[in-house]
Amino acid sequence: MTPDVDSKAPPAPSGSFHVTDAYSEIDATLLGAVVDQAPDALLIVDEQGWIVLANQAACALLGRDPAELLGMPVDRLVPERMRAGHAAHRARYLRAPRPRPMGENGRLPIVRKDDVEVMTEISLGPVQLPGRRYVVVALRDVTARIREEDRLRYLSTHDGLTELYNRAFFEAEKARLETGRISPISVVVVDVDDLKSVNDRFGHAAGDQHLRSLAAVLRQSFRADDIVARLGGDEFVVLLPGVDVEERDQIVERFVEDLARQNEIAARPVKASVGAATARRPGALSAAIRVADERMYKAKSAVRRVSHTALG
């Protein structure tokens, strides 16, 4: 795909884009029908970057009529922000053409006539004819596939009930932080009080809502960069990279206040016990989590249900 060098479209290649005289008329007709009915979008682009053939799938994908595509500089299909770099990529491809994918991981956004960007998988293939070279561009809309990939990735890292991160993601982030260079790292452990009583008295649906209510307060109280996870049951934990003891205590106080405000209007107030600790170096993170967990259990019997202090 090449920049728009001038505004005048070149004449169609001699004899249009016919195969060769070695093919009979019926062979050429059959080949043309196969290309036009191919399920993937196909474009044929000449050495100057002009589109000389577009099948029905390409017209549908790009939202353009065949007459609009034929003679159009192919780089107009690339988002404007990418056109300058694309010209260089195209020049390199023409110096050593071979069948290969195009774009990052074989994917590249293209622009429809209505200016909507569509993510596509693109493959390139060179075609050499007597005196002429072309590139076959095969495009496939992968928008739905990417959406499904994103959905599956989300499900693999998030708790289905609260939509917080799940234990698997938490463990992966803990391992990453333990071997990284960020310090200090603070930990806040939160445990819902009396969840079994809520389940027994009002049913598991009420207990689930209890957990969702707490999760909403956690999302509100902590930073977007913090790792807020539900480990399972009534256990929650938050990792706060780069947060020291003083800032950690301020954040915990804010969480306690936010939960109190939420409980003022809630049909069933959520009670929770909180423990906090701080690892002064990354390798001490596992120890900090254990200390925070111990302080959370001690806090269950405390009036404020919060236990602070740092990990020494």
At residue 4, the pLDDT reads 42
Kindly list the strands in the beta sheet with 306-307, ordered across the sheet, starting from the edge strand earlier in the chain: 227-232, 235-241, 185-192, 272-279, 306-307
Cα 118 from Cα 58, distance rounded (Å): 12
* Residue that is written with structure tokens 């979008």 in the block: 41
Q: Which two tokens stand for residue 63?
A: 């939202």
CB 293, CB 190: distance < 8 Å: no
Q: What is the pLDDT along the chain (312 residues), one digit of tens a residue?
A: 444 444 455 544 433 444 444 445 557 678 778 888 888 999 999 999 999 999 999 999 999 999 999 999 999 999 999 988 887 888 888 888 999 988 777 889 999 999 999 999 999 999 988 888 999 999 999 999 999 999 999 999 999 999 999 999 999 999 999 999 999 999 999 999 988 888 889 999 999 999 999 999 999 999 999 999 999 999 999 999 999 999 999 999 999 999 999 999 888 899 999 999 999 999 999 999 999 999 999 988 765 455 444 443
Question: What sign does the dihedral 238-277-270-203 (CA atoms) show?
Answer: positive
Set out the domains of the chain in order of their start, with CATH numbers.
25-146 (3.30.450.20), 158-307 (3.30.70.270)
Pair of tokens at residue 250: 């301020």
3-state helix, strand, coil in the chain (%, to 5): 45, 25, 30
Q: How many CB atoms are located within 10 Å of the residue 113 CB?
A: 13
The H or E element containing residue 155 is helix 143-157
CA–CA dist 296, 45 (Å, integer): 66
Q: How far is CA 177 from CA 8, 182, 185, 226, in A?
A: 57, 7, 8, 12
pLDDT at 12: 46
The reported pTM is 0.73
Q: Are 278 and 184 in contact (CB under 8 A)?
A: yes
Which amino acid, one-letter code, is at 285?
Answer: L
Q: How many CB atoms lie within 10 A of CB 28?
A: 14
Question: Chain-centre distance of CA 91, in angstroms?
Answer: 31
Query: Is 311:287 a contact under the CB 8 Å cutoff?
Result: yes
Residue 220: phi, psi to the nearest 5?
-70, -35
From CA 206, how far away is CA 311, in angstroms rounded? 36
Q: Return d(Cα 167, Cα 26) in angstroms, integer.
A: 63
Alpha-carbon torsion 145, 148, 153, 156, what sign?
negative
pLDDT reported for residue 312: 37
